[in-house]
Amino acid sequence: MTPTTKTDEATLPRVGFAGLGTMGSAMAANVARAGFPLTVWNRTPGRAEAVVALGAAEAASPRDLARASDLVVCCVTDSPQVDEILFGPDGLAQGFRRGALFIDCSTISPAKAREFGSRLHEGGVAMLDAPVSGGSEGAMAGTLTIMVGGEPADLERAQDLLHAMGRTVTHLGPIGSGQVAKAVNQVILCGTYLGVAEGMVLAMKAGMDAESVAAALAGGAAGSWILQNRSGRMIADTYPLGFKIALHRKDLAIALELSRSIGATLPVASLAATLEDGLIANGHGEEDNSALARAIRELSGL
């Protein structure tokens, strides 16, 4: 099947994509639609069908994926998964040719990103750490924000590919810099989620129409993407998935560990982590991050 694209595939590098979860499957689909010759791999069988229907091939192992690709994107949960895909049995490192480029869109610690980059460099393979923000909606729409660490020349090689997945691509420094920026992103997000949740609870407890209050505030200084797109869920107390609380808690652990290592104090992030721990313990870890409002509502008797 031919991908739906007007781009000449002969001018594009061969792309591999490892990790077809909620984010990765949507990102890979956009790569296929952009016309890149694409091969995919996922640990769980059956997840590749939608992308294969767009014209992608499916590899039997990460090693085979690397052999079929000039650039390989990875989008999985955490550092151990990236390590296994790269360096485990039949890992990418066994199939990479010298001069290949590995682009990790997972959210991992900056230290691990630097470690992986160093190990790949020994084999003549370049790496970019390129975590993303924008949730499942941004992944499907191809409007993700991509924060990149690595060599400028390597980013230049990957620009067209990254712009097939995201709207904003920013180079922030050497390998690990993208992960630091993602940690900052997750810290800011948790504060905003908590602020919106507290504001909506305050409006409801005061007897106000909270939806009208949110609409009134949206154009002012309190306006934010979260106020506009997640306050309704907080008011209704329903939290369909955009980005899992369990994954945000994992990301906060990275940010809090980084803060300890450099002597930064993050009281709001620490509070959010504690509230998220309680939500996860009570079975809400698979809900959207806006479910932080559950904790505020419960503390307020709603």
Out of 182, 205, 244, 250, which one is annotated catalytic? 182
Q: In a 3-state reduction of DSSP, which class is residue 147? A: strand
* Whole-angstrom distance, CA of residue 37 vs CA of residue 16: 8
* Chain centroid offset of residue 80 CA: 16
Give the span between the Cα atoms of 145 and 237, in whole angstroms. 28
Burial 158-170 (b: 16+ CB within 10 A, else e): beebbebbbeebe
Residue 250 annotated as catalytic: no
The DSSP letter of residue 35 is T
Closest to 102 measured CA to CA, from 145, 61, 69, 59: 69
Cα distance between residue 137 and residue 292, in whole Å: 19
Q: How many CB atoms lie within 10 A of CB 157?
A: 17
Pairwise CA distance, residues 170 & 146, whole Å: 6
Type and span of the H or E element at 18? strand 15-18
Q: Distance between CA 127 and CA 140 in Å, rounded?
A: 25
CA–CA separation, 199 and 193 (whole Å): 10
- Residues with catalytic roles: 182
